[in-house]
Structure formats: C-alpha cells, structure tokens
Amino acid sequence: MKEFQAAKKRVEVSVGESLRIIRELQELSQNQLAELTGIPQSTLSAIENGRVNLGVERAKVLAHALKCHPAVLLFPGWDVPLESAA
C-alpha cells in the first residue's frame, strides 16, 4: 500500500472568503444569514470583503447558523501536521 500524500494547497482563502464560500454552499444570501444570526447584512458584507474583522463571538454565532465549527471560519488556512491529526 502506498503512503498517504497530502494534497497540495492550490488557493489561499481569507476569513471573509471562507465565510462567503460556506454561506453560498448552503445557498444562503447575506440577508438570510443576517436574519438567522442577528448580524446586520452590511456587517456580513464587510466581513466577507475584509473590511471588518470576524472576531471570535461573531464566528461562534455564524458557525452555529452555518452548522460548522467556528475554527473553520476563523482559521481557513490552518494546516494540522499529519502526526497530530490522529
């Protein structure tokens, strides 16, 4: 059996881009996500465009609405070494 070889990272994704991608994969508009979270649509737009920092508390609220872990939003480019992943 061949050794596992990790896929190479092709694209760097920012925090805002990560939020947008997850939101769009769930077919939610910014207005719909704003209704689910209580975070204004203008703030969501600013986060997605890198004008406002996401922050831990907002990440928790958004992660709950998007059904993902907050770390997925806060650390989109984080790489876990294979040895510690298990």
Return the CATH number at 34.
Answer: 1.10.260.40
**Identity of the amino acid at 28:** L
The pLDDT confidence band at residue 81, using thresholds 50, 70 and 90, is: low
Question: Is 69 part of a structural domain of the chain?
Answer: yes
| 2 lies in some domain | no
Q: 0.75 exceeded by the pTM?
A: yes
Would 51 be classed as within a structural domain? yes
Alpha carbon distance 84, 52 (integer Å): 32
Domain count of the chain?
A: 1
Whether 84 shows a pLDDT value over 90: the answer reads: no
Tokens of 44: 């969501």
Which structural domain, as residue segments, surrounds residue 63? 15-76
Q: Say which residue, 3 or 8, is predicted with more confidence.
A: 3
**Least trusted range by pLDDT, from 57-61, 67-71, 75-79:** 75-79
Does 53 map to a domain?
yes
